[in-house]
């Protein structure tokens, strides 16, 4: 592969760029390139407008950190897929380069594709190669102003639409369109639209081949992936030389000439302005325009096609070409294995992420003489597009159990929820310092089943629960408020718990429902009312440590100290009629202490 030689005449390192006006060519490779441009640009501009399940099919929603790709939603936690995608892209590049040279550069690279589209617009407005060169040289006049102006108008419109489409991959494109036409774009949207539009206009309109020659790293290292069997675009020197002009119909051999008529059309067609007859050069992007140009000349001269053709170094030297070389096979196998692995993993992907963090403040605690408890914070991320009910279970030790705020935890689509999980194990089952166990989070929701999650307040019953536990100190006259007493306390009579659940079995209700009485009270009011009903004083506040010793600080805090003012909006709206709406009548009824 040759490299450009330094100009020997003036010894300067910098050579001013000569503007290149590639000649339009016709032929199968140009048709293929045109097709590639239409298809690839069609995909880029069309995909953001596709809808899937009622939302934009491909949307990289950065603010909520969700990446929707048709039916799949990816999260930052799925970074592995992005890494695998990049590895697949790199391996594909290695594979296709080893097999067929710079296919990517010639047909699919965005720089090539957008430059081609910009050249089309240049031809429509400024004419063919000769006309464009003439226009460059002509002084500024009305005609030049009109042609140049219309070219730039087209370029700028196309570039801005490109910037708009790019932003449309990150912001719902229909909303973006509505905001664009009303000039209501946000600052970031405006910045990226203009920035990407400007980059397109500059790269495809002006920099063009300079990006490939001076800026693209791939052009520099692609030769490392080449071998003597890689497909390259080559000039058949043996057949073409010595080159020279001759009239049509003359046998070149009679004149001691090769097949190259030195018409220079291959050079004029080249978008990077090189002469392929000087051998393979790193500036060659393998676009095959020179093949089409030369084949046209060969047809006119009645010579066989292929003076410039796709070939390999071995084939050009008359040696057999080998398609399946070790590097091609290794790249191919790795690529197939990786693609298969990613597809398999996508089909097996569980749309749920769970993080378990141990309570840093407490290593473990003894609940009573027989039970040991560890507390964990479990963060659930529902990565699905449906809401799910999750149940947390535990296994690994005899008698082990896990307690959470409810049997199931409902997490909406794309939502996260955090629950405190208290893992309890009988003292006899735990041996030594480390006892491995496994927390299992499972979705238990069935889309066919209507699910209602009830959240109860303090249940007023004498057999079990918070009221039952407070009765003895209150009856002994040592009951009192807990903490400041200002915290709200939601309560419900046992009869209404049963009645509410029976009502919900038939009601047209789904999701969370507060199973609490309509009139929550503060703890101090609850305390006074209970004392009045029992005819006992309630002057001495209960220190927090007393119930905390018995039931654990966290339970006491979450039940008795944290303000909970839940009102039964959904239950009332669904038509349920409470047996007890006010605290005192409810307590009198439950404790069998009639007024008076
Ligand atoms: S030498 Fe031929 S294949 Fe290479 S860039 Fe020029 S026209 Fe394209
Ligand atoms: S187009 Fe073909 S014939 Fe013309 S100069 Fe190039 S190689 Fe020679």
User: What is the C-alpha separation between 521 and 535, in angstroms, rounded?
Assistant: 19
CB count within 10 Å of CB 3 equals: 8
Peptide bond preceding 242: is omega within 30 degrees of 0, i.e. cis? yes
Ligand with minimal distance to 244 CA? 2
**Residue 393 token pair:** 């279970």
Ligand with minimal distance to 246 CA? 2
Phi, psi of 11 (to 5 degrees): 70, 10
Q: What average pLDDT does the segment 574-582 reach? A: 93
**Residue 118 token pair:** 């910009």
Q: What average pLDDT does the segment 182-208 reach? A: 95
Residue 9 has pLDDT above 60, yes or no: no
pLDDT (0 to 100) of residue 595: 79
Q: What residue owns the CA closest to ligand 1's atom 8?
A: 287
Give the count of alpha carbons within 13 A of 91, CB side only: 19
pLDDT (0 to 100) of residue 2: 44
pLDDT (0 to 100) of residue 291: 97
User: What is the C-alpha separation between 465 and 484, in angstroms, rounded?
Assistant: 22
At residue 294's C-alpha, the angle toward residues 106 and 268, to 5°, is 70
Distances (CA, A) of 194 to 161, 392, 394: 10, 50, 54
pLDDT (0 to 100) of residue 456: 81
pLDDT per residue as tens digits for the range 64-82: 888 999 888 888 878 888 8
| % the chain with pLDDT above 90 | 51
DSSP class of 254: G
- Tell me whether strands 365-366 and 401-403 are parallel, antiparallel or unpaired: unpaired
Domain with CATH 2.60.40.10 in the chain: 352-443
Which residue out of 100, 107, 212, 288 has the highest number of ligand 1 atoms within 8 Å of its CB and is therefore the one to mutate?
A: 288
Q: Domain spanning 352-443: which superfamily?
A: Immunoglobulins (2.60.40.10)
Q: Indicate whether residue 285 lines ligand 1 (CB < 6 A).
A: yes
Nearest ligand 2 atom, CA 261: 3
DSSP class of 303: P
Residue 95 has pLDDT above 50, yes or no: yes
Q: What average pLDDT does the segment 119-137 reach? A: 96
pLDDT (0 to 100) of residue 362: 66
CA of 113 to the centre of ligand 2 (A): 25
Predicted TM-score (pTM) of this structure: 0.68
Nearest ligand 2 atom, CA 277: 7
Which residue out of 27, 241, 263 has the highest number of ligand 2 atoms within 8 Å of its CB and is therefore the one to mutate?
A: 263
Query: Which class in CATH covers the domain with range 452-590?
Result: alpha beta
pLDDT per residue as tens digits for the range 346-395: 888 888 888 898 876 666 777 777 888 888 999 998 888 778 888 898 88
pLDDT per residue as tens digits for the range 417-463: 999 999 998 888 776 667 788 898 888 876 566 767 777 888 898 88
pLDDT (0 to 100) of residue 298: 96
Domain with CATH 3.40.50.720 in the chain: 452-590
Q: Indicate whether residue 272 lines ligand 1 (CB < 6 A).
A: yes
Q: What residue owns the CA closest to ligand 1's atom 2?
A: 290
CA of 283 to the centre of ligand 2 (A): 18
Q: Indicate whether residue 487 lines ligand 1 (CB < 6 A).
A: no
452 neighbors 511 (Cβ within 8 angstroms): yes
Residue 11 has pLDDT above 60, yes or no: no
515 neighbors 576 (Cβ within 8 angstroms): no
User: What is the C-alpha separation between 57 and 36, in angstroms, rounded?
Assistant: 23
Ligand with minimal distance to 261 CA? 2
| % the chain with pLDDT above 70 | 92
Residue 273 has pLDDT above 80, yes or no: yes
Nearest ligand 1 atom, CA 233: 3
pLDDT (0 to 100) of residue 7: 46
| Helix (H), strand (E) at residue 453 | strand 452-456
Q: What is the CA radius of gyration of the chain?
A: 39
At residue 320's C-alpha, the angle toward residues 317 and 325, to 5°, is 115
Residue 147 has pLDDT above 60, yes or no: yes
pLDDT per residue as tens digits for the range 456-489: 888 898 887 778 888 888 888 888 888 888 888 8
Nearest ligand 1 atom, CA 269: 7
122 neighbors 20 (Cβ within 8 angstroms): no
| Beta-bridge partners for 52 | 55
Nearest ligand 2 atom, CA 235: 7
**Residue 491 token pair:** 């309560």
pLDDT (0 to 100) of residue 74: 87
Q: How many residues does the chain have?
A: 596
Residue 5 has pLDDT above 50, yes or no: no
Q: What residue owns the CA closest to ligand 2's atom 6?
A: 266
User: In the sheet that 66-69 helps form, which strands lie side by side, from edge to edge?
Assistant: 58-61, 66-69, 72-74
**Given pLDDT bands bounded at 50, 70 and 90, which one contains residue 8?**
very low
CA of 277 to the centre of ligand 2 (A): 8
Residue 316 has pLDDT above 60, yes or no: yes
Cβ neighbours for 354, distance < 8 A, ≥ 6 positions apart: 378, 379, 380, 381, 439, 441
User: What is the C-alpha separation between 383 and 391, in angstroms, rounded?
Assistant: 16
Cβ neighbours for 88, distance < 8 A, ≥ 6 positions apart: 335, 338, 339, 342
User: What is the C-alpha separation between 386 and 397, in angstroms, rounded?
Assistant: 34
CA of 468 to the centre of ligand 1 (A): 89
Q: Indicate whether residue 294 lines ligand 2 (CB < 6 A).
A: yes
479 neighbors 558 (Cβ within 8 angstroms): no
Question: What are the E-state strand segments in 24-182?
Answer: 51-52, 55-56, 58-61, 66-69, 72-74
Q: What residue owns the CA closest to ligand 2's atom 7?
A: 260
Chain mean pLDDT for the chain: 88
Ligand with minimal distance to 242 CA? 2
pLDDT (0 to 100) of residue 428: 80
Quick one: CA dihedral 125, 127, 133, 138, positive or negative?
negative
Nearest ligand 2 atom, CA 290: 1
Nearest to 409 by CA among 382, 438, 427: 382
- How many Å separate Cα 385 from the centre of its chain? 14
409 neighbors 415 (Cβ within 8 angstroms): no
User: What is the C-alpha separation between 334 and 257, in angstroms, rounded?
Assistant: 49
Nearest to 461 by CA among 589, 590, 584, 579: 590
**Distance between first and last Cα of the chain:** 109
Helix (H, G, I), strand (E, B) or coil at 454: strand
Distances (CA, A) of 182 to 153, 157, 187, 197, 436: 21, 17, 14, 19, 61
Q: Indicate whether residue 269 lines ligand 1 (CB < 6 A).
A: yes
Q: Indicate whether residue 284 lines ligand 1 (CB < 6 A).
A: yes
pLDDT (0 to 100) of residue 15: 65
| Helix (H), strand (E) at residue 455 | strand 452-456
Give the residue with greater pLDDT, 41 vs 389. Answer: 41
Residue 3 has pLDDT above 50, yes or no: no
CA of 270 to the centre of ligand 2 (A): 12
User: What is the C-alpha separation between 593 and 589, in angstroms, rounded?
Assistant: 7
Q: What average pLDDT does the segment 202-207 reach? A: 95
Listed range (206-210, 366-370, 520-524) with the worst mean pLDDT: 366-370
Q: What average pLDDT does the segment 150-175 reach? A: 96
- How many Å separate Cα 112 from the centre of its chain? 27
């Amino acid at each position: 592969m040759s490299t450009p030689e330094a100009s020997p005449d003036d010894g300067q390192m910098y050579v001013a760029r000569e503007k290149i006006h590639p000649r339009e060519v016709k032929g199968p490779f140009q048709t293929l390139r045109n097709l590639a441009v239409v298809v690839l640009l069609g995909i880029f501009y069309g995909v953001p407008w596709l809808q899937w399940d009622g939302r934009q099919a491909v949307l990289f929603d950065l603010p909520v950190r969700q990446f929707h790709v048709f039916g799949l939603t990816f999260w930052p936690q799925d970074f592995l897929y992005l890494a695998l995608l990049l590895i697949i892209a790199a391996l594909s590049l290695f594979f296709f380069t080893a097999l067929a040279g710079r296919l990517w550069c010639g047909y699919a690279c965005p720089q090539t594709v957008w430059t081609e589209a910009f050249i089309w617009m240049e031809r429509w407005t400024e004419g063919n190669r000769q006309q464009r060169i003439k226009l460059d040289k002509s002084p500024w006049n009305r005609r030049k102003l009109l042609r140049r102006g219309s070219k730039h108008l087209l370029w700028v419109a196309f570039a801005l639409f490109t910037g708009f489409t790019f932003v449309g991959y990150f912001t719902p494109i229909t909303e973006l369109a509505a905001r664009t036409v009303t000039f209501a774009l946000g600052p970031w949207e405006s910045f990226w639209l203009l920035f990407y539009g400007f980059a397109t206009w500059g790269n495809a309109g002006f920099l063009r081949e300079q990006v490939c020659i001076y800026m693209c790293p791939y052009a520099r290292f692609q030769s490392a992936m080449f071998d003597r069997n890689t497909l390259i675009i080559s000039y058949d020197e043996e057949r073409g030389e010595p080159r020279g002009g001759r009239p049509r119909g003359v046998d070149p051999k009679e004149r001691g000439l090769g097949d190259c008529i030195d018409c220079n059309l291959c050079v004029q067609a080249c978008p990077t302005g090189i002469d392929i007859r000087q051998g393979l050069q790193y500036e060659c992007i393998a676009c095959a325009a020179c093949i089409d140009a030369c084949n046209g000349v060969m047809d006119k001269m009645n010579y066989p096609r292929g003076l410039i053709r796709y070939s390999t170094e071995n084939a050009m030297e008359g040696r057999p070409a080998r398609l399946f070389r070790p590097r091609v096979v290794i790249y191919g196998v790795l690529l197939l294995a990786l693609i298969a692995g990613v597809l398999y993993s996508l089909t097996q992907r569980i749309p749920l992420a769970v993080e378990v963090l141990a309570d840093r403040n407490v290593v473990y605690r003894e609940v009573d003489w027989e039970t040991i408890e560890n507390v964990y914070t479990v963060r659930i991320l529902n990565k699905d597009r449906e809401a799910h009910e999750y149940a947390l279970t535990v296994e690994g030790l005899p008698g082990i159990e896990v307690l959470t705020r409810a049997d199931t935890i409902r997490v909406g689509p794309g939502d996260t929820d955090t629950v405190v999980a208290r893992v309890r194990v009988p003292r006899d089952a735990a041996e030594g310092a480390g006892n491995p166990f496994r927390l299992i989070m499972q979705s238990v929701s069935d889309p066919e089943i209507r699910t209602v999650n009830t959240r109860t307040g303090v249940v007023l019953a004498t057999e079990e629960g918070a009221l039952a536990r407070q009765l003895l100190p209150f009856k002994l006259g040592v009951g009192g408020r807990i903490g400041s007493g200002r915290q709200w306390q939601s309560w419900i009579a046992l009869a209404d718990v049963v009645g509410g659940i029976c009502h919900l079995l038939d009601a047209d209700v789904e999701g969370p429902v507060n199973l609490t009485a309509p009139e929550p009270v503060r703890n101090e009011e609850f305390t006074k009312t209970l004392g009045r009903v029992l005819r006992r004083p309630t002057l001495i506040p209960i220190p927090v440590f007393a119930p905390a010793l018995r039931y654990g600080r966290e339970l006491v805090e979450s039940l008795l100290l944290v303000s909970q003012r839940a009102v039964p909006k959904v239950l009332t709206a669904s038509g349920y009629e409470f047996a007890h709406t006010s605290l005192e009548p409810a307590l009198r009824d439950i404790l069998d202490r009639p007024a008076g």
